[in-house]
Amino acid sequence: MEERHRKILQRNRSNLVKDLDPSSLYDGLIENGVFTQDMVDEIKSCATRREQARKLVVDLETRGSRAFPLFLQCLQETGQHSLAELLRNGAPAIQLQPATPTQAVRPVLQPLPVSSPMDVDKQRKDDVPVYPMPRPSTTPTPCNYKMDASPCGHCLIINNVEFDPQSELSNRRGSNIDCDKLESRFKALNFIVDVKTNLKQRQIKHELSALSKKDHSQYDCCVVIMLSHGTEVSHNRFPGAVYGVDGQHVPVQYITNYLNGQHCPSLQGKPKLFFIQACGGGEKDTGFEVSPDEVEPSIGGADDQTDAIPTSSSSDSLSTSDELDARPTLPTPSDILVSYSTFPGYVSWRDTQSGSWYVETLYRILDENASTDDLVTMLMMVNHEVSQNSAKGLYKQMPGSFNFLRKLLYFQSQA
């Protein structure tokens, strides 16, 4: 599909998801070679009309150059004129060129054999479509996570701002701004939000343990957000660690283990999301040169600070007597996504007046796109926008994720 047509679909995705009747389009899209039967069957496997409409539009963007005008034609033929007009107003005049050398888009009934087998074989070859579409993967792929419970689930925010003097860690000015933004955003996404402030290491572990012991059976998702100083530690799955206000840290892989399927059975098969606003280390990224077309305005200011702490050699602040449900030696968890504010080993920048680059961008992307885009797509938007910023006109930052989700995750539509 041409890029201008793809952008028209993306700009109008919200209206398409809201109003599109996908069931009336399937036959026409198959007959015109836009989708295969397998692709339509996969779209139909989505539970609701909205989910089917969303997947149809997303899959449509991957099709060939004739997919967009043929989609408009199918909308007109099925009486969805307002949507067709909406898309047409955003596109230049389109004229469908006849397929050459033949235009076999509908099967033709033939009389009982009056020709030789050789003629029949020749006819079958002539009926091959002129514009074959790439065959989609036949690997079974589930559609979306169930995310319609009300409330959707619990969201725990741990916001460490004021650190004990003996910890030798600076206070994190601007973190309360991050906390307020995330609290309001996840409440708007229908989560039960619980904010804890200035916790020591042992208190962090207590809150995570308490969250894992809750009954999540009536909910669809669980979110943990850590706002603190961070550092590197040795790990075998998820890198990094976050500090309590006492200067003792908790590795990220310990944090995720509290909610995995073994330690929190009522969250088995449900998405567990972790957002880590903390440094992954002490190295500062000065970036590399790119062409002027790649550069966009940056928002870094003179008040930028980092959440960096010198690298720790290992998980030395956690003894072997720690609680059983915090062991880091379990099989790789499924249905977990960990989003980091910065690439492991590098600092994470925070403006004392407007909050951290990562949270500020995440808040806005969720606000603008949660009703139409899945979580992983939105996190890529966050990665791109944060990567354009510069601290003190020099230093860069690159967020990233460790994704063990098995399905697409769409948050509930915001009121």
356 DSSP 8-state letter: E
**Cis amide bond preceding 151, omega within 30:** yes
The helix/strand/coil state of 272 is: strand
Return d(Cα 87, Cα 9) in angstroms, integer.
Answer: 7
**Closest alpha carbon to 160 in 180, 176, 146:** 176
Question: CB-based burial of residue 400 (10 Å sphere; 0-12 exposed, 13-18 middle, 19+ buried)?
Answer: middle
Return d(Cα 199, Cα 206) in angstroms, integer.
Answer: 10
Residue type, 225: I
Which residues on adjacent β-strands are paired with residue 231?
Answer: 241
CB-CB contact of 60 with 133 (8 Å):
no
Q: HSE (CB half, 13 Å, CA atoms) of 8?
A: 21
CB-CB contact of 292 with 382 (8 Å):
no
Return d(Cα 298, Cα 2) in angstroms, integer.
Answer: 30
The helix/strand/coil state of 378 is: helix
Report in angstroms the alpha-carbon separations of 372 from 40, 51, 324.
20, 10, 40
In this structure, the number of other CB atoms found within 10 A of the CB of residue 331 comes to 9
**Contacts for 215 with CB less than 8 Å, ≥ 6 apart:** 266
The catalytic residue among 46, 152, 179, 279 is 279
Q: Please confirm, yes or no, whether 229 is among the known catalytic residues.
A: yes
The helix/strand/coil state of 158 is: strand
In this structure, the number of other CB atoms found within 10 A of the CB of residue 296 comes to 11
Return d(Cα 308, Cα 300) in angstroms, integer.
Answer: 17
CB-CB contact of 194 with 157 (8 Å):
yes
The catalytic residue among 229, 249, 263, 264 is 229
Return d(Cα 194, Cα 22) in angstroms, integer.
Answer: 39
Which helix (DSSP H) or strand (DSSP E) does residue 153 occupy? strand 153-159
Return d(Cα 324, Cα 216) in angstroms, integer.
Answer: 21
Q: Please confirm, yes or no, whether 152 is among the known catalytic residues.
A: no
What are the catalytic residues? 229, 279
